């Protein structure tokens, strides 16, 4: 028999994801200005538009659940803002790696937790986390840059490792500060060994993304 999920835990998760999508919109719109070409600028602008649309879907669902979207997002602002301050890209390529590797890591984390949600909310989370097109675009751009300059892979590999370190630290902080999310994860995975396996799956997916870019994990 499936254990009922505390609705407040659902609100916490959707609130965290809603703010993540809002932050992604802001960041992609800003990073688009560093694009070396108009095509690249347009590509990131389209991704930003998709993120703000996802944000709207999540806030609409929060309202349906009887929650105030701003109040649901507020507890996660400090941690997510701290992550983005610590990982602000200084170049176009760093921005692409962050969008692909950093956002990919976060998406894997949310997908794992979504498996423990009621069907409607699980489907919503999976829908808003679907690739908006930046994966293939980022891989093409980064691989082309690597081919053109042999100094690129070393520098971007270090950047990718920094991203994963910061992301893991902030994720652990968020879970530690929000008991309902921690309870949801532990109940869903079964025990601490299940949590460890969840982290292993996320780490393996990160390694795969780095290799897809042509970088050392």
Q: How confident is the model at residue 3 (pLDDT cuts 50, 70, 90)?
A: low
Report the pLDDT averaged over residues 159-180. Answer: 84
Residue 33 pLDDT exceeds 50: yes
Sequence-distant (≥ 6) Cβ neighbours of residue 59 within 8 angstroms: 18, 69
Read off the pLDDT of each residue in 131-137 and give the average, rounded to a whole number.
Answer: 77
Q: Is the pLDDT of residue 112 over 80?
A: yes
Average pLDDT, the chain: 88
Q: What is the pLDDT of residue 55?
A: 96
Q: Residue 204 CA to chain centroid, in angstroms?
A: 16
Looking up tokens 């794992």 gives 112
Q: Which domains does the chain have, with CATH numbers?
A: 7-213 (1.20.1260.10)
**Span 24-29, mean pLDDT?**
90
| Residue 41 buriedness (CB in 10 A; 0-12 / 13-18 / 19+) | middle
150's CB contacts (< 8 A; 6+ apart) are none
CA distances from 19 to 16, 36, 197, 200 (A): 5, 29, 27, 25
Percent of the chain whose pLDDT exceeds 70: 97
pLDDT reading at 176 higher than 80: no
Residue 125 CA: distances (Å) to CA of 77, 105, 106, 178 = 19, 15, 12, 19
User: Could you tell me which residues come within 8 angstroms of residue 35 by beta carbon, excluding any fewer than 6 positions away?
Assistant: 41, 43, 44, 92
Give me the mean pLDDT over the 182-206 stretch.
83
Note the pLDDT of residue 2: 46
**Cα–Cα distance for residue pair 5/133, rounded to 1 Å:** 32
On the question of pLDDT at 1 being above 70, the answer is no
Helix (H, G, I), strand (E, B) or coil at 195: helix
Q: How far apart are CA 23 and CA 5, in angstroms?
A: 27
Q: What is the pLDDT of residues 69-105, one digit of tens each?
A: 999 999 999 989 988 899 999 999 999 999 888 888 8
Of the listed ranges 12-16, 158-162, 180-184, the one predicted with least confidence: 180-184
- What is the C-alpha separation between 97 and 146, in angstroms, rounded? 13
* Packing angle, helices 7-31 and 119-128, rounded to 10: 10
pLDDT at 7 over 90: no
Q: Is the pLDDT of residue 10 over 80?
A: yes
Q: Which residue has the higher pLDDT, 88 or 173?
A: 88
């Amino acid at each position: 028999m499936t254990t009922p999920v505390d609705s407040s835990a659902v609100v916490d998760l959707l609130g965290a994801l809603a703010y993540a999508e809002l932050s992604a919109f802001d960041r992609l719109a800003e990073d688009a200005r560093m694009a070396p070409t108009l095509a690249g600028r347009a590509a990131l602008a389209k991704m930003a538009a998709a993120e703000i649309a996802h944000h709207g879907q999540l806030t609409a669902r929060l309202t349906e659940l009887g929650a105030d979207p701003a109040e649901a997002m507020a507890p996660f602002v400090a941690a997510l803002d701290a992550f983005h301050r610590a990982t602000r890209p200084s170049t176009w390529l760093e921005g692409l790696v962050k969008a692909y590797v950093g956002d990919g890591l976060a998406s894997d984390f949310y997908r794992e937790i979504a498996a423990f949600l009621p069907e409607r909310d699980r489907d919503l989370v999976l829908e808003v986390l679907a690739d908006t097109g930046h994966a293939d675009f980022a891989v093409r751009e980064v691989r082309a840059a690597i081919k053109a300059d042999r100094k690129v892979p070393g520098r971007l590999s270090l950047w990718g490792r920094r991203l994963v370190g910061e992301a893991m630290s902030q994720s652990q902080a968020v879970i530690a500060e929000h008991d309902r999310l921690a309870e949801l994860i532990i109940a869903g995975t079964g025990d601490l060994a299940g949590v460890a396996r969840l982290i292993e799956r996320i780490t393996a997916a990160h390694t795969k993304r780095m290799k897809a870019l042509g970088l050392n994990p």
